[in-house]
Structure 1
Amino acid sequence: MPAAANPRFSVIIPVYGVEGYIRECLESVTTQSYRDFEVIAVDDCSLDSSGAIIDEFAARDPRVRAVHRAENGGIGAARNTGVEHARGDYLLFLDGDDSIRPGSLQAMADRLDAAQDPEILIFDHVRTHVDGSVEPSRTGPHLADIRDRVVRPVDELALLRIFAVVWNRVYRRDFFTGEGYTFTDGLYEDALMVYTTMAAAQRVAGLEYVVVEYRQRRQGSSMRSSSPRKHFVIFDQYQRVFDYLEGRPGLDAYRELVFERMVAHFLYTFARGFRIPRSHRRAYLKQASKTYRRNEPAGFTPPPGMVGLKFKVMRSGSYTAWEALKTVNGTRETAFGALGRSKRWGGRKALRAYYAVQRRLPIDENLAVYSAYWGRTPSCNPLAVHEAAKKLAPGLRGVWVVNQAYARTVPSGLSRIAPATFGYWKAMARAKYLVNNVNFPDAVIKRPGQVHLQTHHGTPLKRMGLDQQHYPAVARSMDFDKLLERVDRWDYSVSSNQHSTEQWERVYPAAFQSLNTGYPRNDVYYRATAADVRRIRGELGIGQGKKALLYAPTVRDHQKDAFVSRLDLGRFARELGPDHVLLVRAHYFYGGDPELAALAESGALVDVSRHPSVEELCLAADALITDYSSIMFDYANLDRPIVTYADDWEMYRTCRGVTFDLLSGEPGDTPGVIATTEDELIEAFRSGAWKGEPAAALRQAFRERFCAWDDGFAAERVVRSVFLGEDRLRPPVVPATERTPAPSPTTAEGTPALPQDTLAEARSDH
């Protein structure tokens, strides 16, 4: 049997710390119309779930190979590992946080065929920014010049002015390996590879096609490393270039242009304070001057104007001369930024002054401020964390920010402070820990030493964060610059599942640490007893033997003023019959609804919109009916039927956007029966499909995907990580096969009641 032909392309993807992006990267390749390729994804011992994601792709697509390095070696080592495993005619190096556009591989294959397999093919790219804007490159004119030609770079020196990175070109593998090219350690390895390969190549072609979307990350990019000494490797990398060029004939003009590009690169790096801070600038200039003089071509003339002056100063290595040049050029840094930030203040002068004074006083290491849903009733993940902290960190005091309108709903034993008061600003200034499931107001300034725990309040089916920029219904009311300022305050981000972690990492680009703990608010679904279920149902007036259905639709961004049910609640309740109780919970964004109130008054249904605990409502319900609300992900922990009523799916995903196809019917996407009309919904209950075996199978796959970390101990893991400072998450997640969710209402009603002391003991041992 003849051996399989080599693929046309080997796409080599180094993978480290890109769990928010690697899925999009891999999908951009595997969904290409051109199919003759292989993907070699190299996990460089990533500390997040990136390695698991590439394993997932490899398991379902034979063209994807997941390679796991034994130890972290950096992006160069990961690329070298990829080359060792490559079988393709051409090597495409793609970073794990970037992607390629549709049609890219076909366009490259066609151009390579037309050019008769050159050693290098250079193509175009764009930069994509966090604000959604797309910036064209400056590569186009250079590629247009060689549109129909194959050239030697030494004869087309303008090609050296193209962005010197390896991911905007493909290399013929026999050329790359035959010349013995390997990537070096450290940053700026691309420049070394580009200038050495271009010096040796005899046949280079261009492609005027935008292939790569180069993501400009706010955080996480190696080029934004805060370690200045890591950036000093730029001198070693360029010295290797000139050592490579030394003694090679016919490269005088090539060498001179590379020298010019080198100095420009030194200047570019030097000008970025996050790379070379003031404390390291003298040393940087000294080393730059040494490399400059060592490799300066004979008779080299610096460019004219201010750029040329900068060249001369860099050659001299004089920091004093550089500072003088900055003054002349009008680029001296100022402190006006602080003045601009001060304009964010609002409110009374006394409160502002008081807050400023309090921020100068010592932080209270034993104080935590909690808040949920913009100052509403204490609830959700923050409340579960607070309850766990009282047991595991008893020395930590907790206070709750609660608006006056909700003051009466604060459970006994919880301390409350009102927003925009002296007590509030004192707590915000002095507390060690700030815990919220949304964001604190913009006026809050996180001090050094404070810890901000963002718990979130749902798994994102709908688009969140920066993704909302593309959906006018929500984008028009969002200031995304302010959003990023708020996100920059986060130290920890609690995640309920892998899907959420990937979304939060991507749509909230900041330096927080993801806590893959599960949702603390979902612990109750594994700790509640039969007595708890009976009690809650009794308080809601659900008679024994009745089937309680919880209807909890989400808000519509294009319809926020008042609750308008998409379901004829009166008809639906009648069709269900007397053996069912319909619990209706309107979204908390909506005010009271007269029609809903009238139906509740008549006894047709129970309005639970203002019930303080969603978790208790879920425990009481035999089944959940919802549309696109994140309640479905939490309720799935109970392993009870979920029915999706989605009569406006196309409008919703057009107006708000979604992260996956809830209505696909595929395992993992759809939690149970789908109804897109009222009649279909009624029939689902009339026929028994809502609780049938097909629905149960879908629910099981949904639970496996979205409830993998929820086991009853999420709050403990959060407290141990954040408040107790433990390095690793513990206790470990209980395997799904060993978990027992709270008993269903039917089971609970058939379970004998326990004495109160026995019940308390059962809760503590669960």
Structure 2
Amino acid sequence: MPRFSVVVPAFQVQGYVRECLDSVLSQPFGDLEVIGVDDCSPDGSGRILDEYAARDPRVRVLHLPQNAGLGRARNTGVAHATGEYLLFLDSDDTLLPGSLAAIDRHLRACGDPDVLVFDHQRSYWWGEIRPSMFAEQLAATGTQTYTVAERPDLLTLFHVAWNKAYRRDFYLREGLAFEPGLYEDAPLANEAMICARSIGCLARVCVDYRQRYQGAITRSPGRRHFDIFPQYASLFAFLDRRPGLEAHRPLLFERMISHYLFCLRRTERVRPADRRAYFRRAVADYRRHVPPGFRPPSGAARDFRLLARGSYALFAAREGARRAAGRARRRYGRLRSVLGRHVHRAYYAFQRRLPLRPDLAVYSAYWDRGVACNPAAVHAKARELAPHIKGVWVVRPGAAASLPPGTDHVRPRSRRYWQLLARATYFVNNVNFPDHLVKRPGQRHVMTHHGTPLKSMGLDQQPYPAAAARTDFAGMLRRADRWDFSVTSNPHSAEVWDRVFPCRYEDLPAGYPRNDRLATATPEETARMRARLGIPEGRTALLYAPTMRDYRRGYVPRLDLERLCAALGEEWTVLVRTHYYYGRDRTLRELHDRGLVTDVSRHPSVEDLCLASDALVTDYSSLMFDYAVLDRPVVIHAPDWETYRDSRGVTFDLLSGRPGETPGATARTEDELAGVFLSGAWRGPEAEELRSAFRARFCPYDDGRAAERVVRRVLLGEAPETLPRPEPGPTRPEPGSTRSGERKDDPDDDGQLVPSAP
């Protein structure tokens, strides 16, 4: 008996069903069967199902002789299922990677409940992905199970069939089945929940709920949406046959009426011409099923009362007023924005007539995300060497709470913000300041950048559509024309910036100020960082830091971290940091919660992470150039190098194997990556030789005095020839932990680590 039976009905989905089936069959968890039900589809859906069945014995296909509809197709699939648990997956949706294994683990942790509810996300045809609103509610139950009597709020979870795993013997025992027609999920989902003797919840996103451009029934207005009434009639008939479930009637009634009102307000469901008739049907159901003593929910009490009274005219008038108020608010918002821009422009122009303040510097990093990167290091050194110059940070509202105590900051577009832009003498940023900044004579702009360019930048992006999309190159050069200084960390960067930003600025070969910490860190500081991150004594810590992809939207894992951790074993700790462009990844968070990896994506200091780790694993992130300052191993995992190179463009061949281009061992597959570490190649002689050449090329200025050079040249106005000359930094101490396959230092030996005997 397989663990899971996944029922996949198919009707006119030939463009989606392959992706759906692949998302199931490619799961690492393979104890399953897929029951594809061809609902007499007129397109190629049935043929595609047959193709999969021919090459994978886990797939069975049922061909219905005539179209039966989604509910009956699912019923047919259930009748042929043999698994312990039933899952329903619509053929235009997909399972996220690792979902079945996560569901199986949580089912076992919950004692194999009757029903397990899991989370989902919505992906829209234009590329946006939105999480559901149920994550916190699902997470609140942990591994405990409940009945609806114990936790009535469980009935407020999304009442669809495909966000649940049903124990099949429970499903059959209760006689659950889908009714024909639209909205077939609502009665069955609610019936299962009120009958279940144990319900578990999993706060992991398992299903990607596709929102198609067209073809979705819920976005096709018409009389079919009146199917909602017989569906709920079947739910209350079910209640009538089960007197023991009578206590759930008030909440189910509230859910029904809320669902009616939700559909009534949406023109993509109920057409304006049908609203009065729909309202009358809703009124009849209200009066037929209202429980004695029912009290409407506070947030919708007026609408409930209008239904109870059958007052369609008042309801329509209220809806019209609501829509008119919404339009008025939007118009007012637009007007206020336009007026605000005019007022700000006038105020800024007035402030620009006042004298510059030579004691004022404005700092920003990563589009006003907070105190970070090279600007933060410059500011810290300026407080030491140029305390007479006051530094103020531009910080977006959402980031203000995370600032170091005592940080003087200003919100973008506030009154003080315009004063600072108009009168400050110094501007320091690792990206460009906004276009509305008007550079005055006497103001000095410092572009610190925030990485060494492996990928093409600036004008070099023009031949690459993935990188050039929506890029205003003329505007980009206008912004670069404001720079007075371009801080470079190595000659390679200077050459690239000179070509791709061909503007009148002074190259400042200072090194990267943010890397001063890496160049001067002590073993004690490294030990503190490891302790703060909870890295156990004796573990080898790998920092995995992949970069973004221009040709993909959102964070798409390129490495099966669960598989890698299993291959490496318990002597290794994997720290994972996703690119700052991406939001929190729930799958990664789940691995973190299980103790397989440590998710450090939101750790405030990447320098801390570098210091705490024994080696860096990355693909094409510029972090590799900073990490080289530490003279610790860098391993490149490049599964899509050709695609990345051809879609984005690169400045050199990272995988050439030539000294000065490849920083260490490389891997193209997950198996190769695990082999690099298990074989010791990650820190072998060849990798060490490559690392040394890479470090010599890209870290010649990183001696711990980069920030000092910037402050002396820019804020104190010292001549370039008087600045401290960059000298190659010494080899940095490695983390003070015992690595896998090695013994601890003997206090009597010469300080060399000696491999343990095999």
Shorter-chain TM-score range: 0.5 to 0.7
Query: Structure 2 vs 1, CA of residues 351 and 531 (structure 1 numbering), >3 Å: closer, same or farther?
Result: same
State the 1:559 CA deviation: 1.4
Map 1:536-615; keep pairs closer than 5 Å.
536-560=529-553, 562-615=554-607
Residue 642 of structure 1 corresponds to which residue in structure 2?
A: 634
Q: What is the identity, as a one-letter code, of the residue corresponding to 2:390?
A: R
Q: Give distance in 2, aligned partners of 1:454 and 1:735.
A: 23
Matched residue, 1:259: none
Measured in 2, the distance between the counterparts of 1:650 and 1:415 equals 46
Aligned amino acid, residue 736 of structure 2 = P
Distance 1:496 1:726 in 2: 19
Q: Deviations over 1:183-225 (max 9, x none)?
A: xxxxxxxxxxxxxxxxxxxxxxxxxxxxxxxxxxxxxxxxxxx
Task: Give yes or no for the alignment of 1:661 onto 2:668.
Answer: no
Tell me the residue number matched to 2:321.
none
Take 2:744 and 2:516, find their aligned partners in 1: how far apart are those partners? 23
1:522 to 515, 519, 538: 515
Give the RMSD, CA atoms, in angstroms: 2.0
Give the direction of change, closer, same or farther, for the CA distance of 1:346–1:713 in structure 2 (3 Å limit): farther
What corresponds to 1:739 in structure 2? Answer: 730
8 Å contact from structure 1 (residues 529, 743) kept in 2: no
1:295-343, Cα deviation, whole Å (9 max, x unpaired): xxxxxxxxxxxxxxxxxxxxxxxxxxxxxxxxxxxxxxxxxxxxxxxxx
Inter-partner Cα distance in structure 1 for 2:488 and 2:693: 19
SS at match of 1:481: helix
Q: Does 1:357 align with 2:347?
A: no
Report runs of 4+ in structure 1 exceeding 6 Å deviation. 747-752
Give SS of 1:423's match: helix
Q: Indicate yes or no: 2:392 matched with 1:399.
A: yes
TM value normalised by structure 1: 0.52
Task: Give the direction of change, closer, same or farther, for the CA distance of 1:389–1:515 in structure 2 (3 Å limit).
Answer: same
Deviation of the 1:377 alpha carbon? 2.4
The 1:744–1:346 alpha-carbon spacing in structure 2 relative to 1, beyond 3 Å, is farther
Instruction: Give me the whole-angstrom Cα distance separating, in 2, the residues matched to 1:426 and 1:734.
Output: 37
In structure 2, C-alpha distance between the alignment counterparts of 1:744 and 1:698, rounded to whole Å = 20
Summarize the Cα distance change of 1:416–1:750 in structure 2 as closer, same or farther, 3 Å threshold: farther
SS in 1 for 2:737: helix
Do the aligned residues in 2 keep the contact of 1:377 with 1:612 (CA within 8 Å)? no
Q: CA–CA distance in 1 between the matches of 2:564 and 2:339?
A: 49
For 2:658 and 2:340, how far apart are their aligned partners in 1? Answer: 52
Aligned AA for 1:543?
Answer: P
The alpha carbon displacement at 1:346 in A equals: 9.4
Mapped partners of 1:618, 1:632: distance in 2 = 10
Structure 2: which amino acid aligns with 1:739?
P
Look up the match of 2:431. Answer: 438
Structure 2 residues not aligned, in runs of 5+? 1-337, 747-758
Consecutive unaligned residues in structure 1, runs of 5 or more:
1-344, 753-766
2:490 aligned residue (461, 486, 497): 497
The equivalent residue for 2:17 is: none
8 Å contact from structure 1 (residues 355, 426) kept in 2: yes
Give the 3-state SS of the residue equivalent to 1:376 in structure 2. Answer: coil
Q: How many angstroms does 1:528 deviate by?
A: 1.6
Deviation at 1:747, TM superposition (A): 8.6
Pairs within 5 Å for 1:155-194: none
Say whether 1:629 aligns with 2:621: yes
Deviations 1:681-703 (A, max 9, x none): 01001101001111000000000
| Structure 2 CA distance for partners of 1:730 and 1:469, relative to 1, 3 Å | same
CA contact (8 A) 1:717 1:729 kept: no
Q: CA deviation at 1:402?
A: 1.0
Name the aligned partner's letter for residue 493 of structure 2. S
Contact residue 631 and residue 731 of structure 2 kept, 8 A: no
Aligned pair in 2 of structure 1 residues 728, 518: CA closer, same or farther (>3 Å)? Answer: same
Q: Which amino acid aligns with 1:645?
A: H
State the match for 2:144 in structure 1.
Answer: none
The amino acid across from 1:745 in the alignment is G
Map Cα deviations across residues 427-455 of structure 1 (whole Å, 9 max, x no partner).
Answer: 11111001000001111111111000000
Equivalent residue, structure 1, for 2:156? none
Range with bigger deviation, 739-748 or 662-671: 739-748
Question: Compared with structure 1, are the counterparts of its residues 347 and 478 closer, same or farther at alpha carbon in structure 2 (3 Å cutoff)?
Answer: farther
Deviations 1:459-486 (A, max 9, x none): 0000000111111012122011110110
Tell whether 2:458 aligns with 1:448: no
* Cα distance, 1:412 vs structure 2: 1.3
- Structure 2 CA distance for partners of 1:691 and 1:441, relative to 1, 3 Å: same
Change (3 A) 1:412 1:729: farther
Contact kept, 8 Å, 1:717 with 1:730, in 2: the verdict is no
Change in CA separation of 1:527 and 1:554 when aligned onto 2, cut-off 3 Å:
same
* Identical columns (%): 57
Q: Hey, what's the Cα distance between the residues in 2 that align with 1:637 and 1:394?
A: 29
Partner of 1:366: 359
Q: CA deviation at 1:751?
A: 11
Contact 1:713 1:731 in 2 (8 A): no
Structure-2 residue corresponding to 1:317: none
8 Å CA contact retained: 1:346, 1:443: no
Counterpart in 2 of 1:194? none
Of 371, 381, 392, 1:378 maps to 371
| Counterpart amino acid of residue 575 in structure 1 | A
- How far did 1:725 drift? 0.6
1:487 Cα offset (Å): 0.5
Aligned: 1:698 with 2:694: no
- Which secondary structure does the structure 1 equivalent of 2:388 belong to? coil
Please give the alpha-carbon distance, in whole angstroms, between the structure 2 residues aligned to 1:539 and 1:377.
Answer: 22
Q: TM-score of the superposition, structure 2-length normalised?
A: 0.52
CA distance in 2: counterparts of 1:508 and 1:676, whole angstroms: 33
1:673 aligns with 2:674: no
Contact 1:549 1:581 survives alignment (8 Å) = yes
1:695 partner amino acid? A
